[in-house]
Amino acid sequence: MIHIWLAVLLLVLADTAGDILVTRGMKQVGKVTTLNPQELSKVVRRAITNLNLCLGILSSAFAFFMLLALLSWTDLSFVVPATALVYVFSTLGARYILKERVTPARWVGILFISAGVMLILSTANQDIYNKTKNCKPIGQNTKARIDIKCNRPPG
């Protein structure tokens, strides 16, 4: 179970960091105001050399891979609500890293989200993990019998 909670934490942290970095990077790159090919290529060059933007995209990609891994281990109805933690972490980041002002009303909402996510995290189960964990990567078992829920031959 611990690997599920750890993966959720990594997913949420990476997603939040990705959002913040991409926003910061896009602000630095500036608005796309014209479709003129020369201007556009300048914007593109600024975009692909912007560190914030590149790190942000990498971070979001990592978050996506964490999502895929989690979906192979546990329920969809567990994973998707767990990602709502992003609201909590981005608010914490806004307050303590970006030093922005957060209204009390927003904190109340964050409280509800936290309570909900904690309840959901407590319902973590290993049903899908147990169902598919004995699959072996193709090539390790020549007497293959393809299970409908598992492309890889079961162990």
Residues near another protein (CB under 8 A) are: 67-69, 71-73, 75-81, 84, 87, 91, 103, 105-106, 108-120, 122-123, 127-129, 131-133, 135, 137-139, 149-152
Query: What is the closest distance, in whole angstroms, from the C-beta atom of residue 26 to another protein in the complex?
Result: 11
For another protein, the closer CB: 4 or 38: 4
Burial of 104 from C-beta contacts in 10 A (0-12 / 13-18 / 19+): exposed
For another protein, the closer CB: 3 or 38: 3
Query: What is the closest distance, in whole angstroms, from the C-beta atom of residue 124 to another protein in the complex?
Result: 10
d(CA 41, CA 93): 33
Q: Are 79 and 4 in contact (CB under 8 A)?
A: no
Both structure tokens of 3: 């690997």
CB atoms within 10 A of CB 144: 13
For another protein, the closer CB: 27 or 133: 133
